[in-house]
Structure 1
Amino acid sequence: MTPKLKKALCAKAHTLKPVVITGQAGVSEAVLAEIDNALNHHELIKIRLRDDDREERKRLSMEVCERLNAELLQILGQIVTLYRKNPEKTQVVSKPVRRVPRKKPERRAAPSGRTGY
C-alpha cells in the first residue's frame, strides 16, 4: 500500500464510527465473521478492541489482519482501522479533492467618531 493511499484512507476513516466492538471474550470466531462481513460490505472499517494492554491490542489487530487478509491502517487507543479492497465494489478513495483557500474578509474601517472602546 502506498503512503498516499494510506493517508487518504486514514483521512476518509476519520469520520467513521466503530462497526464492530469486541467484548470480554476478545476476538472469537463470531467476531471474526462479523468483521469479515463488515469488510466485505464497507471495505474501510473501524473496530473497537476492549483490552487494557496495548501490546495485546496490537497482537489481536495483527491476528485479525492476518486471518482476514486485511490491511492495518492505524491503531489509536482502542480503535483499530482496517481496510480490505473488494474488487466487486467501486474504489473507496477517489481522486483527492483540492481545497481552495478561503478568502479572508476585508476589514472595514470603524465609523467616524467611534474608536471602538
Structure 2
Amino acid sequence: MLTGKQRSYLRGKGNSLDTVIQVGKEGISEALVAQVKETIEARELIKVRILDNSLYTAREAAEELAEACGAEVVQVIGSVCLLYKRNQEEPIYKLPN
C-alpha cells in the first residue's frame, strides 16, 4: 500500500511519461493484461490511456488492470491512469518513507 507521500512522488515522476498502453473497444483482454504485466515489470511506473470507445471508465479500467497485474493505482485523471508495481530485484524509483 502506497502512502500519500509515495503517491505524490510517483505522480511527479508520471508527469513526464508517455502513454504506453491504451484500452480500446476490445476492453481488457488476456493479451492486454499480458502486455501490461510485461511493461510494468520493465518500467515499474506506466501511464495507461482509456479511449472514448472503451466500455470502461478510467477508474474501472485502472482498478481491473491493477488487480490483474498485482500493481497499485497511483492516480486517475480524466482518461489517463498511472499504475505502479515495484521491481523486487532492481527498483527504478526510490520511494520516500
Runs of 4+ off more than 3 Å: none
Q: Distance in 2 between matches of 1:65 and 1:90?
A: 18
More strand by share: 2
Structure 1: any 5+ residue segments left out of the alignment?
Answer: 96-117
How many corresponding residue pairs? Answer: 95
Distance 1:76 1:52, change over 3 A: farther
Unaligned runs of 5+ in 2: none
Q: TM-score, normalised by structure 1?
A: 0.72
Structure 1 position 90, deviation (Å): 2.7
Give 1 or 2 for the bigger CA radius of gyration: 1
- Percent of paired sites with the same residue: 30
Q: TM-score, normalised by structure 2?
A: 0.86
Q: Matches of residues 67-86 of structure 1 in structure 2 within 5 Å?
A: 67-86=68-87
SS of 1:81's partner is strand
Equivalent residues of 2:44, 2:87 under 8 A apart: yes
